[in-house]
């Protein structure tokens, strides 16, 4: 299932919303490749997209964490920990070095990525929405 942006994903901070949209955009590339990867060898392309997603997630987490730290957000540590767990899992996918030529393997990876990203935005990122709103940051 491809991720579709909805207003309920908005954290009320333009730059962060844009970065979240970009994460959606990168993951949707995997959705296109997954069903056809057994017919045509798209392994290199899938690895490339996974790498792009990892690099962009690192950039986004860093941006978000710097903002949280700048304003002494009280649940910073917990938030940082959640980002670390995600990156560890993505690195594990890379280390496992699975043959990405079966739709079910790629689909499993996609469901972890999209499931984690949506749940994280809706539960964890959403917790700072009012915090920044009260500070007048948008
Ligand atoms: Fe986050
Ligand atoms: Fe985020």
Non-local (6+) Cβ contacts of 43 within 8 A are: 37, 99, 100, 101
**34: which DSSP letter?**
G
Provide the residues around ligand 1 (an ion) whose CB is within 5 A. Answer: 64, 125
CATH fold, domain 14-134, is 1.20.120
pLDDT tens sequence for the chain (138 residues): 667 889 999 999 999 999 999 999 998 898 888 888 778 888 888 889 999 999 999 999 999 999 999 999 999 999 999 999 999 999 988 888 788 888 888 888 889 998 999 999 999 999 999 999 999 999
Contact 47, 120 (CB under 8 A): no
Q: How far is the CA of 122 from the centre of ligand 1 (A)?
A: 10
Q: How far is the CA of 70 from the centre of ligand 2 (A)?
A: 16
pTM summary value: 0.92
């Amino acid at each position: 299932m491809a991720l579709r942006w909805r207003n309920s994903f908005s954290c009320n901070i333009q730059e962060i919303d844009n970065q979240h949209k970009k994460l959606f955009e990168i993951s949707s590339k995997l959705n296109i490749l997954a069903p056809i990867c057994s017919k045509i060898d798209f392994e290199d392309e899938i690895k490339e997209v996974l790498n792009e997603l990892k690099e962009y997630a690192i950039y986004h987490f860093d941006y978000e964490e710097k903002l949280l730290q700048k304003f002494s957000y009280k649940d910073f540590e917990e938030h940082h920990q959640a980002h670390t767990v995600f990156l560890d899992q993505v690195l594990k996918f890379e280390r496992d070095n699975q043959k990405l030529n079966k739709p079910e393997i790629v689909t499993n990876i996609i469901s972890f990525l999209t499931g984690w990203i949506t749940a994280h935005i809706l539960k964890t990122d959403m917790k700072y929405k009012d915090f920044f709103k009260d500070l007048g940051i948008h």
